[in-house]
Amino acid sequence: MLNNHAKLMQFFSEANEVVGRKKLQKMIYILQKCKVPFEEKYQFHFYGPYSEELTLRVEELCNLGFVDEVKENKSNYYQYHYSVTDAGESFLKQFSLDMPDFTEKLALLKGKSSRFLELVSTMLYFDNLPKDEVEEKIHLTKPKQKYTVEEISEAWAFIDRLVIDN
């Protein structure tokens, strides 16, 4: 029961705090690609892989009082902060989840911007294509983001560091 919710709670618990909805979306997707068994279904959207199921499940966790969501008013947009509550920690304790250790990967992801994670997750979305075609896809599907050559090579290096078995 609610195993998928519990897996996300483990993510929030280990992450301590996640800043930004877009970043949260991309972090879970990238972890999925690292074989961490989150089961939320993703589709490609304007800003890269996005899971409506994840959005709704996080809303459920907030409504249940397991995750605290704080809305911060930036100058021309809002940013959301997520952290686990005491009730959330108690809920999580009742599960014995068989999850691989993803602490290190999580730390790497947390240190990156949402723009960069959008690039990485988009590259991973096309991981069935050869490298040059992946880069071509990035430029074709995301012309407005204007990703530089340096950013793209940094993203490849980052993917290698994550040791993703493609």
**Residue 20-59 contact track with other proteins, rule CB under 8 A, x = bound:** xxx--x---------------x-xxxxx--x-xx-xxx-x
Give the span between the Cα atoms of 115 and 95, in whole angstroms. 34
Q: What is the largest CA-CA distance in the chain?
A: 48
Q: Does 156 bind other proteins (CB under 8 A)?
A: no
Minimum CB distance to other proteins, residue 104 (Å)? 25
**Long-range contacts formed by 68-76: CB under 8 A, 24+ apart:** none
Stretch that binds other proteins, among 71-79, 101-109, 148-156, 157-165 (CB under 8 A): 71-79
Q: Which of residues 94-123 bind other proteins (CB under 8 A)?
A: 94, 114
Minimum CB distance to other proteins, residue 142 (Å)? 9
Q: Which three-class secondary structure state does DSSP give residue 102?
A: coil
Of 126, 97, 101, 96, the closest CA to residue 29 belongs to 126
Name the residue nearer to other proteins (CB basis): 61 or 155.
61
Contact between residue 138 and residue 121 where contact means Cβ atoms under 8 Å apart: no
Contacts of 39 (CB under 8 A, 6+ apart): 4, 7
The residues binding other proteins (CB under 8 A) are 1-2, 4-5, 20-22, 25, 41, 43-47, 50, 52-53, 55-57, 59-60, 62-66, 77-80, 87, 91, 94, 114, 125-126, 137, 140-141, 144
